[in-house]
């Protein structure tokens, strides 16, 4: 539930159907909109959001308990990523134009990306801007040329209403078809499932829990025409601290890892929930330094009562396990929906025999695992489920000695980090925010960065086409002046 009384009525199935049908009706028109007009549309979305910034942040803070500084930073990230996609469209090579022409025997084969159709986007609770109404999923789909029907997250209903109005206003100002974006509301699972099962939906983007994402994935697979579901479902984001750095910098590294675990009351999908240590001199100092930091940390307010209840239940289950030692817990407060930080410790043998220790406890808790030697550490890696991130802390000597660790982690995570923390996902062309199942339902995609646009496109091959029928990106004279792969070589020249 929201943290205020400004709730929004649940959208009826009839209204959802109408929104999808209207979006489908304008798809052909929207996919043909000139690039310059689509760029202007995106830029205006960012501008409209900035125009209501003070009031928007006030409303969101009331709904989520998130501090003003955090919301200001996230809002900046959101508008920056909108403009990043506008720049991607301007540069143009994202369409991956490929042209192969042969004289003997004669052939003319060309390829480029085209939009899929109407996309269903599900907003996240923990990022009311960046993974919400005008977040990365929505903007990537709109940039690709896909209309969006957005399912609002009930954690911040009025925030969603306000940002949706910005998108509608931007469309009106730039002459974009009005039904290119619609928003639907509902706390029940039925709203989401009805959206996914509609035959005119061509792809789904979701950020949230494993149970929620897997339910949508299973439903989409049972459709008469199955569709891709790009569900980002979180992970425990393991951190490995190697021996030499632990001996030399135990306190410094502990401070950084614990700060990452506590950031935002632990409500990040990249929150480090597992810390794996090889038992050498300094291991106990590292655990003690981490425990000391936890023990003096106050509980913080979580986003919703449901999230708080899930965290409390998860921590209670961990505390009841005889194989775990509670090394430290934070200080209770009277703050609403307050989550008390917890730090548990166990060994490799216990971790390897309890699959439940790999389940994400969304919030400020972590499990430290002591591995007796390198072989035990590698056994832990091989046992890990798919992750969004995996982090290694080590000196150059550590990293050289444990080079195999990096190779193993490549098979487990979408983003590998050396001597830093996983929280804080930069929005760049090189970023991968994804990973093997169960972190996501499709390891070949990212939900952050410009590469996320390819979740909502597909390649089409044009063979033997006359010039007048070809899209601009594939014409001989290259009217868009974009980079293309022509007979195996990158080029911006005419053919």
Nearest Cα residue to 482 out of 30, 80, 27, 99: 99
pLDDT at residue 6 in the model: 63
Contact status, residue 262 vs residue 402, Cβ threshold 8 Å: no
Radius of gyration over alpha carbons of the chain, in Å?
24
Give the domain 13-233+442-457 fold.
Aldehyde Dehydrogenase; Chain A, domain 1 (3.40.605)
**How many angstroms separate the CA atoms of 8 and 158, rounded?**
8
Catalytic residue among 21, 269, 320, 355: 269
Provide DSSP, 118-164: EEEEE--SS-TTTTSTTSHHHHHHHHHT--EEEE--TTSHHHHHHHH
- Helices (H), ranges, 3-34: 13-31
Look up 146 and say whether it is catalytic. Answer: no
Element holding 306 (H helix, E strand)? helix 305-319
Mean pLDDT by 10 residues, the chain (495 residues): 64 97 98 96 98 98 95 98 98 98 96 98 96 98 98 96 98 97 93 96 97 96 97 96 94 97 96 94 91 97 96 97 97 95 97 96 98 96 98 98 97 98 95 98 97 98 98 97 97 96
Look up 269 and say whether it is catalytic. Answer: yes
494: left (phi over 0), alpha (psi -120 to 50) or beta: beta
What is 239-418's CATH superfamily? Answer: Aldehyde Dehydrogenase; Chain A, domain 2 (3.40.309.10)
pLDDT at residue 36 in the model: 96
**How many angstroms separate the CA atoms of 390 and 421, rounded?**
9
Task: List the domain boundaries for the chain.
Answer: 13-233+442-457, 239-418
**Strand 98-103 relative to strand 484-486: parallel, antiparallel, unpaired?**
parallel
pLDDT at residue 249 in the model: 93
Element holding 100 (H helix, E strand)? strand 98-103
- Helices (H), ranges, 175-242: 189-197, 210-221
Catalytic residue among 37, 232, 322, 410: 232
**How many angstroms separate the CA atoms of 408 and 350, rounded?**
21
Q: Do domains 13-233+442-457 and 239-418 have the same CATH topology?
A: no
């Amino acid at each position: 539930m929201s943290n205020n009384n400004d709730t929004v009525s649940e959208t009826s199935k009839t209204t959802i159907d109408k929104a999808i049908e209207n979006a489908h009706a304008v798809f052909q028109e929207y996919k043909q909109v000139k690039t310059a007009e689509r760029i202007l549309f995106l830029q205006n979305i960012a501008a409209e959001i900035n125009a209501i910034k003070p009031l928007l942040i006030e409303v969101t803070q009331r709904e989520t308990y998130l501090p003003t500084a955090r919301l200001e930073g996230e809002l900046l990230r959101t508008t920056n990523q909108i403009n990043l996609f506008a720049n991607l469209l301007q540069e143009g090579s994202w369409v991956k134009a490929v042209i192969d022409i042969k004289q003997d025997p004669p052939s003319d084969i060309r390829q480029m990306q085209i939009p899929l159709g109407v996309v269903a986007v599900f907003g996240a609770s923990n990022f009311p801007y960046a993974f919400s109404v005008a977040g990365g999923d929505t903007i990537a789909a709109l940039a690709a040329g896909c209309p969006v029907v957005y399912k609002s997250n009930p954690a911040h209903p009025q925030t969603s209403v306000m940002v949706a109005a910005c998108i509608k206003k931007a469309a009106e100002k730039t002459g974009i078809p009005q039904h290119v974006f619609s928003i639907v509301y509902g706390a029940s699972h039925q709203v989401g499932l009805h959206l996914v099962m509609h035959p005119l939906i061509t792809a789904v983007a979701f950020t949230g829990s494993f149970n929620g994402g897997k339910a949508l994935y299973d439903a989409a697979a049972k459709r008469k025409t199955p569709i891709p579901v790009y569900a980002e479902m979180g992970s425990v984001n393991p951190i490995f601290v190697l021996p030499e750095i632990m001996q030399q910098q135990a306190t410094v590294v502990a401070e950084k890892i614990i700060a990452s675990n506590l950031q935002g009351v632990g409500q990040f999908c990249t929150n480090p929930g597992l810390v794996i240590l090889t038992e050498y001199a300094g291991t106990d100092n590292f655990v003690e330094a981490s425990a000391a930091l936890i023990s003096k940390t106050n509980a913080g307010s979580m986003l919703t009562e449901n999230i708080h209840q899930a965290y409390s239940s998860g921590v209670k289950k961990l505390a009841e396990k005889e194989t775990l030692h509670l090394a430290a817990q934070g200080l209770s407060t009277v703050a609403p929906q307050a989550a008390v930080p917890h730090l548990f410790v166990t060994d490799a043998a216990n971790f390897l025999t309890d699959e439940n220790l790999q389940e994400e406890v969304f919030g400020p808790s972590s499990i430290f695992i002591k591995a007796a030697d390198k072989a035990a550490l590698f056994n832990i890696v091989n046992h890990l489920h798919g992750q969004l991130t995996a982090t290694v802390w080590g000196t150059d000597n550590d990293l050289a000695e444990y080079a195999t660790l990096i190779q193993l982690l490549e098979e487990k995570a979408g983003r590998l980090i050396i001597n830093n923390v996983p929280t804080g996902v930069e929005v760049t062309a090189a970023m991968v925010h994804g990973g093997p199942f169960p972190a996501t339902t499709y390891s070949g995609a990212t939900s952050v960065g410009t590469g996320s646009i390819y979740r909502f496109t597909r390649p089409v091959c044009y063979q033997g086409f006359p010039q007048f029928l070809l899209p601009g990106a594939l014409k001989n004279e290259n009217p868009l002046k974009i980079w293309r792969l022509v007979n195996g070589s990158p080029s911006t020249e005419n053919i």
